[in-house]
Structure 1
């Protein structure tokens, strides 16, 4: 009878993300991931075979992890735009310093240079835009956004602003990453928010 696994694949993927944040792509060895996961390097090799195979498996589940982030955000609030903000913030959970963000963005080297990784990265990007589009559509229905807002186009603009804020934060950011992301996304959404009625001045003020 095979011995039961004491460390799940999900725990290993969590450890992989933590290793990437701490050590960057080049420093994320099987030994580093094994230490984060609390298991032996031999056990990790037996499970995945190589660093590339582990990172491919990590990349493959990214779209599902993205869906989970937005699903959890929806459970925390009934406001579509707040769920949008919370879902995007969850995608960067654990990135507390510019150095950690730089290490995580190093994964883009694989996404751009390797077709297998690029395919998974593209699937994840499409999943993010799909989640954003759904929430923006709900925001229009709930009158959090104007009727004229186009969820599909707006979702792409929001995602571009989000990624731009990620890149600029280590260079120009003055607030925590979560706040910088919210400000960048709000700047895109502001022209589509319903105008607030102007309060009439007291008669004495008009005299």
Structure 2
């Protein structure tokens, strides 16, 4: 008798990401995730209990990835501003076209009606904000930028990058990376 194949949560979460990029949250099914992960729907349900269980676990995974990206950036001996840019760019790098990015973003926008998913999303946004502020403070300490209100700059950077994502979805003539570079350049210019 053959042993059942083992699937790591990371493999499954990557499949969730791919399925979200293809379908968006409103059309996402267990079968979509199952097809991407090459695991049976029953296997997914046995591990996570429900579609919502999968999405909650995926959300927790994204929170851990966000935290890890900031922890690693703080340890590197490079420009804090460049490290921060890389974090924002890497967050969008797997969505290689505007439709995929819009579909994935729908997960965060539409999950606000679910209190459990919203709570995890808020946790991720809190890590993003605190991490951005920490790297901005480090940039000030390293002399990369002048002293500024890091709380305000963090909020404006996050808003600007989110807006850049929406602009790219509507008009992909420029790359999302170039738009993110513009956000950083314009917002931080007065502090160089």
TM normalised by structure 2 equals 0.90
1:11 paired to 2:11: yes
CA distance in 1 between partners of 2:73 and 2:174 (Å):
22
Higher mean C-alpha deviation, range 117-126 or range 30-39 = 30-39
1:162 paired to 2:179: no
Q: Would you say the 8 A contact 1:24–1:103 is kept in 2?
A: yes
CA distance in 1 between partners of 2:178 and 2:73 (Å):
16
TM normalised by structure 1 equals 0.84
Q: Which residue is 1:118 aligned to?
A: 118
RMSD: 1.9
Q: Which has the higher contact order (CA 8 A, sep 6+)?
A: 2
Shift in CA distance, 89/75, structure 1 to aligned 2, threshold 3 Å = farther
Query: Which segments of structure 1 move beyond 6 Å, counting only runs of 4 or more?
Result: none
| Structure 2 gaps, min length 5 | none
* Pairwise CA distance, 1:101: 1.2
| Structure 1 gaps, min length 5 | 194-207
- Cα deviation, 1:58-112, whole Å, max 9, x if unaligned, reads 1223221112233444566611110000011111121111111111121134332
Aligned pairs, number: 190
CA distance in 1 between partners of 2:109 and 2:137 (Å):
33
Q: Which residue is 2:142 aligned to?
A: 142
